[in-house]
A and B are shown apart, each in its own frame.
Chain A
Amino acid sequence: MNRFPHNSKYGDEEATPTAGKNARAGEVALVWSRHEYRPRDGSKRACGSRTGSRGASRRAVRTAGGVAARGGPRHGAAVAARMCARSEAVELEVLGAEGGEARVPPRPLRLSLLELLGKLVRRDQPSAPRRRTRHNHRFRTFVSCENERRIKANNREYNAQFRYANNYIKTSKYSIITFLPLNLLEQFQRLANFYFLCLLVLQLIPAISSLTPITTAIPLIGVLALTAVKDAYDDFQRHQNDSQVNHRRAKTLRNGKLVEEKWASVQVGDVIRLENDQFVAADILLLSSSEPNGLCYIETAELDGETNLKCRQCLLETAEMGQDDAKLGAFDGEIVCETPNNLLNKFEGTLSWREQHFSLDNDKILLRGCVLRNTSWCYGVVVFAGKDTKLMQNSGKTKFKRTSIDRLLNFLIIGIVLFLLSMCVFCTVACGVWEWLVGRYFQAFLPWDTLVPAEPASGAVVIALLVFFSYAIVMNTVVPISLYVSVEVIRFAQSFLINWDEKMYYEKTGTAAKARTTTLNEELGQIQYIFSDKTGTLTQNIMTFNKCSIAGVCYGDVVDENTGETIELTDRWRGARAAGGAGGGARARLLEREHEQGRSTPGARRPDTPHNTEPLDFSDNPEYEPEFKFFDGKLLTAVRQENPHVLDFFRLLALCHTVMPEQKNGRLEYQAQSPDEAALVSAARNFGFVFRERSPNTITIEVMGKTEVYELLCILDFNNVRKRMSVILKKDGVIRLYTKGADNVIYERLKSSNQNEVRNKTQEHLNKFAGEGLRTLALAWRPLEERGFAEWKRRHQAAALALRDRDERLDAIYEEIETDLLLLGVTAIEDKLQDGVPETIANLSLAGIKIWVLTGDKQETAINIGYSCQLLTDDMAEVFIIDGVSHDDVDRQLAKCRDSIRVVNTFLPHGATENKRSSASAGSMCGVAGASGGGAGGGAVGGAANGGGVVVRPSPGRAANVKLNAPAVSVVTFSNEYVSGGPHDALEPANDDSNGFAIVVNGHSLVHCLHPKLEEKFLDVVLQCRSVICCRVTPLQKAMVVELIKKSRKAVTLAIGDGANDVSMIKAAHIGVGISGQEGMQAVLASDYSIAQFRFLQRLLLVHGRWSYYRMCKFLRYFFYKNFAFTVCHFWFAFFCGFSAQTVFDEMFISVYNLFYTSLPVLALGVFEQDVADATSLQFPKLYAPGHTSQLFNKTEFIKSTLHGCFTSLVLFLIPYGTYKDGLTPDGKILSDHMLLGSVVASILIIDNTTQIALDTTYWTVFNHITIWGSLVSYFVLDYFYNYAIGGPYVGSLTVALTQATFWFTAVLTMIILMVPVVSWRLACSWTRPTLAERLRARRAAAPAPRTPSARRARRSVRSGYAFAHQEGFGRLITSGKIMRRIPHADAALSALASLPGKFHPRAATPPPAASQPPSPAPPGPPSPPSPPSPPSPRAPKQDLDSVDL
């Protein structure tokens, strides 16, 4: 069995992105599940404790490594064998879970072959014999078991033989030499280009060419050249990016000396030195670092989007080497590890050094793309370099994205070509017949070509065959090459409209929206699913201490002085405030809203600034942070008045945490594992409770300038089950326990029948905070007696040393002491949403777009954000949570969800829910005001920001406003009408956002959901949910979810994100949008569009996307119409010219018809057309709906256009033909020649086209006028110019025609015949079946009425959010002293030292033999300061990345 089968598998799949997509998702899912199942043998505990089982699995692995190390080669072999066996067992387990069917795992033959080949190659490795002599048995096991990577540190010769990728990165596609052939090859893969190439070749054959080759050559070369230039430019930029990255400097050890080298020349096996704030150059195995115990800190924002600090630790054995270059240069460890793969959180391998074997896991690996933080230097061995690094493995291949219209076009073009061929075939047959009957007698006048046999029958056949090609050439204009040019030009221009949109310009960072790809615009108008990242996309990734409630008093509300209303502030509001202005508070609100609706530029009218909306001034505190903003002066006053509750509150905040302080440039800075904690500590700091310093057993804070030192007795660290953390501190002989945690957890543990009033009030405040979408934490404390504590401490230590069920026992011990708490208060932290997120989401979902949030965050956070951005609301029937760990669990949960949905759907039929929904939305639009206006305590409106910048608590006055604002209501009737009346809505599945279900899926459950077996079920449930939130998902999973929807629903997807962890998703989706203006640019670089704020997405989709789609569809419909009208004339003419491929029109006319005469008006249409204004399309998101069903351009529309075109051509040809056949002018001049007829038809064609486009254009700009009338004029001008000045053969024909009344008569007659049906049909349609846009236009014309934005606002009563660290804090590290750079106390130093021997010989020191070892014996020590014999290997660092993948 292969332990890492996914390596080769995934790599191959990457290489062939289109091949076997179905298989792909399945396979990857299988891989994941295998990975998932691995820990099973260690996780016998209840699956409720995720951390527990995860820890167990890691321990298991570690043990395996340890055993290998201890037992030497033989044991290593055994371990390896066991691992193999296990993975095999796991695979069987997976299969078993599928109901015991004998199902062969999906494993393409090709991959198996590749693996086999890999094994063969491995056997042939020259290094093998040496290994075999030493570890004969083991080696064989490995060969049969896996493909692995072997690296010898500092041994380039040895590593060279494996030809590992070096650190050179190449994302470019071409070099100077390969550019032309490769690019041409790529371009001719486009169907159209190839078609025109064939055509050109045909035209070069004189026997069949009825047109000069130039007519095709010029446009084709033009198109190719333009595209090539664009490609070259793009590739040039990629080259530049590559070379910039490749030329970064890395310090590499060469022969024991530190040399600066380019990144590109770093190779696998090199030892490199990294310094603080540097990017990690490759995936390296950490050898030593500046921090004690070989710790080092990294930020993985580029990789997974998480900005919190993570901790890595090297082997203590290697850490000894320090920064001794000579020692490091002589380091000759051999690393055997997994082959390159894209699993960010997993690494397996062993290091053999000095006859010892150490197991390596992810904790010892620094990945490329991370940034080293708070660590002045570190050394490491490069394990994966360049394209093998996990970062690069995770960034999928850039796919060539095409829009669905592109694909449809390709299909249609095949159809057109078939149509063309059938016309040609018809003409061929007819020509053969004609030649046989008539044509052969004409030979006397025109001898048949030498090619043609003289014998009449065969001659006719040959001529007919030649005519086939001739007609193919003549009628090629049904597939006009200018179509492609025009489409590109239109998209290009539309992209500029996006780039120049002032309303998508973010002043704060000075970033405008940017269309990075100019080929996808109209797809923006068809988005059905949006996959959004959370951190940095929906939220700003800023936690702010916003409000608090201390001893039943609420602080933090900003009260408007004039009205007594509470104001919620947003950044924009604050910014506006800062800018200053004039006006009153309540009025300002209205102005703001008005401003938001109507105008784009920041209005000149700025409301007055009530003084209490200024942030408080903390500057008298020397340690204050200028960026900290708090608006309620009451709290500061309370602090200054030394209100004991408030003091206790802040003291707790300053003491109870695991934050690390650091002096940076003379300023105190905090490093926290979670931004929540940092926000709390920094709040305390600003209010004068500065956390100064910590040592393993002391905490120093500064309260109002006075230093206080507390003795730290114990940290009861956070975990997901406990949902709280506590510290036990001693000061002046008094022992206190401070705790903070989720409110329900704390409330359960409060001292009964105490503080009842405070409790109730606080509960009220909690509800209020939660309703505002804030993340709450309850704070409490209790005094401890010395004796009781000592006794507890003893038992705690005993528990900490327990070999079995230590975590449970510890939790129980913790539970004992965390009782009888006294409530101090609650904090409310705002995970700040970006401005306008709830409104945007509401509007987008009104537009029928499903929004999925895919985040790496934990479930609680995700749900919380879901509520605050209105994805989850209280009026939902149910919010499902899928968090099963095993396949069966997930299966069961999904089945349950499905049942629930079915039940609701049965008892509430679709119609009822529909009504309910619309009335609910009506209620939520207008009713909220009424409901909460009189509500108790003046409930706040949920969500942070309104578009207007200020949200005021609803008051009766607001309700009155709403009443006056009548159109707001009529909108509801409108959408109702649309829902019931629109034919397309009826086609939609009944469950489409009809009832309020939401589902929250955990990453580890998602693994199973994406498994082919459960996929169907999962989709079944998920597609019936209005909102979907996936939490704790990996970058790859994000992409897989996107792929799943793309594949199963054939839906158009959009992925939006800001970090490197979103790159794969962005690349997978039809359209990737990056949030720009942030630190990392990875997402933006991979994206197709970049916007600065999430709220701009609304405008990008609902306005630009909609317009683009609308324009493109209109353009295409017209374009096909005009080309059919033009080309099919030749077909009609064929009946009158003996099917001889004679053209009706002048060659010149044919060449430039699409280029000059008709292209510009339709281009102007494609760029400027709009049916409704931008404000309207934002107000009525339903307008977006036609894009979902491809209503505006599909096969039916295409056939309509072409039939219309054919009809037009028939009329165009027949009427003039009838008129001019044997025609005479009244004064006896002859009108009957062919050239004259050609000119007449051409002129009428141009007139018709112009009229048609004028009818199609609803939005007239100057450009439309210029191009439409201009092209009509240009026809006559150019025709005269060409014929008279250059000397075309049709000279004079047009003059003859124009001077005769016959022409004008014919023209008018033809135009009437053509236009009357069109106009009357359109009028009839817009009267009987008006589209929403048409009705809106009509309404607009009747009564222009402004309307409030239709954001659904719903109050939220469910509390779910509590703010806390994402993972376990640094608690263990702190108390064990490992994390301390300066060890202040001798005893701490001693205890740290005491822990070292155990660390140095961990394997030898672990007494029990492997057999008796419990599955999870590994020794993450509890926070016991005097280190016991069990090796206190730090646990915290392991949490970070690892936890994501479970």
Chain B
Amino acid sequence: MAEEGQIMKKTIIHWFLIAVGLLFILIGYCLMTSSDSETTTTDELVVDYTDCTSLDDTVRGKLCPKHLEEKDATNCSVCVTSFTVTKPLIGKVIVYYELTNFDQTSPDYINSRDDNQLKGNWTEVPSENCAPFRYDAASKPILPCGSIANTMFNDDINITRSAKFTRVPIFAYGMLSDSDKIGFQNPETFDSLISFSRPASWTKSLDELDTTHPDNNGLQNERFIAWMRTDWKRKPYGRFSNHGTYKNGLPAGNYSLSVNYKKYNHYKGPRKIIFVATQTTVVPGPFVSGAVLVPIGWLLIIVVGALVYGTRILEALHKKYDDIKASRANGAVANPSQPKPSEPSASRLLTTARATTDANKDSAV
């Protein structure tokens, strides 16, 4: 019974060690293959457009943040900034935007949504989680309610290749897997949208988020979903087309960025656009590549430990085995024949000792 467990454990360990060995081989292979391509490509390109210059007629040449601050304007209209791609980005390219210092991780913030609403059940009573973004000033329920939806980032970005003045097409869908979208459903029609108010900071109505693709509109808009699925700094803005010039990435050259720079609540931090080329390997980043070193480290420690202590262990095992054998062979004869050597002397000692102590006592008396 107990042995069974022992054997079971042993086999588990064996298999485990074999599996570890195999995995290291696999990982090594992956690292080798990925390192080949790394030499020729960059992974990502960050374009900071915070200080983008306004092209608006009234404030031409002024930096947008300043403009928004000074004039208390809501819109910097269109501003332009340019950037250069020195090494091509190869692979499928995802465009992110990043808002530094933007904290989406507070539980109050994350919970400030109505999952029911997002699933298409538009009732006139939004979830309490949404407070204080449940109703607008006129007590009209907000759709989508809550703090997340209210703070949705809404700069519009266009990228043009400077040389050819051609627009780099960016699609706002196909960035998320279908499972990501399960929680977001549109109702049959947007008719009932009338009885709802849109979030205060929104410039567009819900049904106008992406009019080009009906499947990517309303609550099912991927940019909206990505925003609603809270994470850290980077949020997907869009992706390059799978077809045409940019299907294999962003070639080297000069590009310009034209942004419909909007006042984004009171956000004063930097605004960035990031182009990220997807890898073909499963090793996603330097951190994880480093982490792979950990098991290798373990292995090294074990090997060293085994080298240092292994001989000792082996010796001990041998000795034990010999002991058992020896005791089987002659222990039965040897052991019982041992007398109790110290016993008689013990009691004698005791008695003599006591006698002396008694005598001492007597003499003392």
Indicate if B285 sits at the interface (CB-CB under 8 A).
Answer: yes
Chain A residues lying within 8 Å of B320, measured Cβ to Cβ, are: 1335
Q: Let me know if B346 and A908 touch, CB within 8 A.
A: yes
A1385 to B354, alpha carbons, bound, how many Å? 61
A1319 to B230, alpha carbons, bound, how many Å? 38
Indicate if B198 sits at the interface (CB-CB under 8 A).
Answer: no
Q: Taking A444-B266, A916-B340, A1306-B288 as contacts, is the C-beta distance between A1292 and B5 under 8 angstroms? A: no
Chain B residues lying within 8 Å of A1324, measured Cβ to Cβ, are: 305, 309
Q: Taking A1138-B105, A1222-B276 as contacts, is the C-beta distance between A963 and B182 under 8 angstroms? A: no
Q: Let me know if A1313 and B107 touch, CB within 8 A.
A: no
Chain A residues lying within 8 Å of B74, measured Cβ to Cβ, are: none
A1138 to B109, alpha carbons, bound, how many Å? 12
Closest CB-CB distance, A1284 to chain B, in whole Å? 8
Q: Let me know if B234 and A903 touch, CB within 8 A.
A: no
Indicate if B205 sits at the interface (CB-CB under 8 A).
Answer: no
Indicate if B164 sits at the interface (CB-CB under 8 A).
Answer: no
A916 to B337, alpha carbons, bound, how many Å? 13
Residue of B nearest to A1174 (CB): B1
Indicate if B125 sits at the interface (CB-CB under 8 A).
Answer: no
A895-923 CB contact bits vs B (8 Å, 1 = yes)?
Answer: 00001100110011000110110011011
Q: Taking A1173-B1, A1224-B276, A1327-B317 as contacts, is the C-beta distance between A1230 and B226 under 8 angstroms? A: yes
Chain B residues lying within 8 Å of A1257, measured Cβ to Cβ, are: 5
A1300-1336 CB contact bits vs B (8 Å, 1 = yes)?
Answer: 0110011011001101110110011001100000010
Indicate if A1171 sits at the interface (CB-CB under 8 A).
Answer: yes
Q: Let me know if B110 and A1142 touch, CB within 8 A.
A: yes
Identify which of B94, B181, B294 contacts A1228 (C-beta below 8 A): B94
Indicate if B279 sits at the interface (CB-CB under 8 A).
Answer: yes
Chain B residues lying within 8 Å of A1141, measured Cβ to Cβ, are: 107
Chain B residues lying within 8 Å of A1237, measured Cβ to Cβ, are: 231
A residues 1337-1394 touching B (CB-CB < 8 Å): 1337-1344
Summed over the interface, the residue pairs from A and B with CB atoms below 8 Å come to a total of 312
Q: Taking A903-B349, A920-B340, A1224-B279 as contacts, is the C-beta distance between A1171 and B2 under 8 angstroms? A: yes
Closest CB-CB distance, A878 to chain B, in whole Å? 6
Q: Let me know if B2 and A442 touch, CB within 8 A.
A: no
Q: Let me know if B305 and A930 touch, CB within 8 A.
A: no
Most buried by B among A443, A967, A1343: A967
Indicate if B183 sits at the interface (CB-CB under 8 A).
Answer: yes
Q: Chain B contact residues (Cβ within 8 angstroms of A): what range?
A: 35 or more
Closest CB-CB distance, B69 to chain A, in whole Å? 14
Indicate if A1234 sits at the interface (CB-CB under 8 A).
Answer: yes
Q: Let me know if B226 and A1287 touch, CB within 8 A.
A: no
Q: Let me know if A1142 and B353 touch, CB within 8 A.
A: no
B175-216 CB contact bits vs A (8 Å, 1 = yes)?
Answer: 111011111000000000000000000000000000000000
Q: Let me know if A442 and B106 touch, CB within 8 A.
A: yes
A1236 to B101, alpha carbons, bound, how many Å? 22
Interface on chain B toward A: helix, strand, loop, or mixed SS? helix
Q: Taking A1140-B107, A1218-B285, A1224-B279 as contacts, is the C-beta distance between A877 and B336 under 8 angstroms? A: no
Q: Taking A969-B331, A1224-B276, A1319-B16 as contacts, is the C-beta distance between A1229 and B183 under 8 angstroms? A: no
A94 to B174, alpha carbons, bound, how many Å? 96
Indicate if A1225 sits at the interface (CB-CB under 8 A).
Answer: yes
A442 to B342, alpha carbons, bound, how many Å? 85
A1312 to B268, alpha carbons, bound, how many Å? 44
Identify which of B7, B229, B287, B349 contacts A1341 (C-beta below 8 A): B7
Chain B residues lying within 8 Å of A1305, measured Cβ to Cβ, are: 282-283
Residue of B nearest to A959 (CB): B336
A667 to B147, alpha carbons, bound, how many Å? 98
Chain A residues lying within 8 Å of B1, measured Cβ to Cβ, are: 1170, 1173, 1259
Indicate if A446 sits at the interface (CB-CB under 8 A).
Answer: yes
Q: Let me know if B183 and A1291 touch, CB within 8 A.
A: yes
Closest CB-CB distance, B10 to chain A, in whole Å? 9
Q: Let me know if A1296 and B177 touch, CB within 8 A.
A: yes
Indicate if B63 sits at the interface (CB-CB under 8 A).
Answer: no
Partner-contacting stretch, out of B50-58, B251-259, B322-330:
B322-330
Chain A residues lying within 8 Å of B16, measured Cβ to Cβ, are: 1315, 1319
Chain A residues lying within 8 Å of B20, measured Cβ to Cβ, are: 1312, 1316
Closest CB-CB distance, A982 to chain B, in whole Å? 15
Residue of A nearest to B299 (CB): A1316
Q: Let me know if B328 and A966 touch, CB within 8 A.
A: yes
Indicate if B280 sits at the interface (CB-CB under 8 A).
Answer: yes
Chain B residues lying within 8 Å of A442, measured Cβ to Cβ, are: 101-103, 106, 109
Closest CB-CB distance, A1167 to chain B, in whole Å? 15
Q: Let me know if B106 and A1140 touch, CB within 8 A.
A: yes
Q: Let me know if A445 and B147 touch, CB within 8 A.
A: yes
Indicate if A1254 sits at the interface (CB-CB under 8 A).
Answer: yes
Chain A residues lying within 8 Å of B331, measured Cβ to Cβ, are: 966, 969-970, 973
Indicate if A144 sits at the interface (CB-CB under 8 A).
Answer: no
Indicate if B13 sits at the interface (CB-CB under 8 A).
Answer: yes
Chain A residues lying within 8 Å of B156, measured Cβ to Cβ, are: none
Q: Let me know if A444 and B265 touch, CB within 8 A.
A: yes
Residue of B nearest to A1295 (CB): B179
Indicate if A603 sits at the interface (CB-CB under 8 A).
Answer: no
Identify which of B283, B323, B342 contacts A973 (C-beta below 8 A): B323
Closest CB-CB distance, A991 to chain B, in whole Å? 14
Chain B residues lying within 8 Å of A922, measured Cβ to Cβ, are: 335-336, 338
Identify which of B231, B312, B328, B357 contacts A970 (C-beta below 8 A): B328
Chain B residues lying within 8 Å of A927, measured Cβ to Cβ, are: 336-337
A1237 to B276, alpha carbons, bound, how many Å? 20
Chain A residues lying within 8 Å of B23, measured Cβ to Cβ, are: 1308, 1312
Residue of A nearest to B279 (CB): A1226
Indicate if B343 sits at the interface (CB-CB under 8 A).
Answer: yes
Indicate if B59 sits at the interface (CB-CB under 8 A).
Answer: no
Q: Chain A contact residues (Cβ within 8 angstroms of B): what range?
A: 35 or more
Q: Taking A927-B336, A963-B332, A1316-B302 as contacts, is the C-beta distance between A1309 and B231 under 8 angstroms? A: no
Indicate if B159 sits at the interface (CB-CB under 8 A).
Answer: no
Q: Taking A878-B350, A923-B338, A1219-B287 as contacts, is the C-beta distance between A1337 and B265 under 8 angstroms? A: no
Q: Let me know if A1224 and B94 touch, CB within 8 A.
A: yes
Closest CB-CB distance, A1213 to chain B, in whole Å? 12
A905-948 CB contact bits vs B (8 Å, 1 = yes)?
Answer: 00110001101100110110111001000000000000000000
Q: Let me know if B13 and A210 touch, CB within 8 A.
A: no
Chain B residues lying within 8 Å of A1335, measured Cβ to Cβ, are: 320
Closest CB-CB distance, A1021 to chain B, in whole Å? 15
A residues 1194-1238 touching B (CB-CB < 8 Å): 1214-1215, 1218-1237
Indicate if B4 sits at the interface (CB-CB under 8 A).
Answer: yes
Most buried by B among A899, A900, A904, A1221: A1221
Q: Let me know if B3 and A1337 touch, CB within 8 A.
A: yes
Most buried by A among B115, B312, B350: B350
Q: Can you report 17 residue pairs joining A to B where beta carbons are below 8 Å apart?
A: A442-B101, A442-B102, A445-B102, A446-B147, A912-B342, A919-B339, A923-B340, A969-B335, A1140-B105, A1218-B285, A1226-B281, A1230-B180, A1233-B231, A1234-B230, A1313-B298, A1323-B13, A1340-B3
Which residues on B are within 8 Å of A, measured CB to CB?
A: 1-9, 12-13, 16-17, 20, 23, 27, 92, 94, 101-110, 112, 115, 119, 132, 147, 150-151, 174-177, 179-183, 226, 229-232, 234, 236, 239, 265-269, 276, 278-285, 287-288, 290-292, 294-295, 298-299, 302, 305, 309, 312-313, 316-317, 320, 323-324, 327-328, 331-343, 346-347, 349-350, 353-354, 357
Which residues on A are within 8 Å of B, measured CB to CB?
A: 210, 438-439, 441-447, 449, 470, 875, 877-878, 899-900, 903-904, 907-908, 912-913, 915-916, 919-920, 922-923, 925-927, 930, 962-970, 972-973, 995, 1136-1138, 1140-1143, 1170-1173, 1176, 1214-1215, 1218-1237, 1254-1255, 1257-1260, 1284, 1287, 1289, 1291-1293, 1295-1296, 1299, 1301-1302, 1305-1306, 1308-1309, 1312-1313, 1315-1317, 1319-1320, 1323-1324, 1327-1328, 1335, 1337-1344
In order of increasing CB-CB distance, the 8 nearest A-B pairs are A1218-B287, A1137-B105, A444-B266, A1292-B179, A926-B336, A1233-B231, A1295-B179, A1258-B5
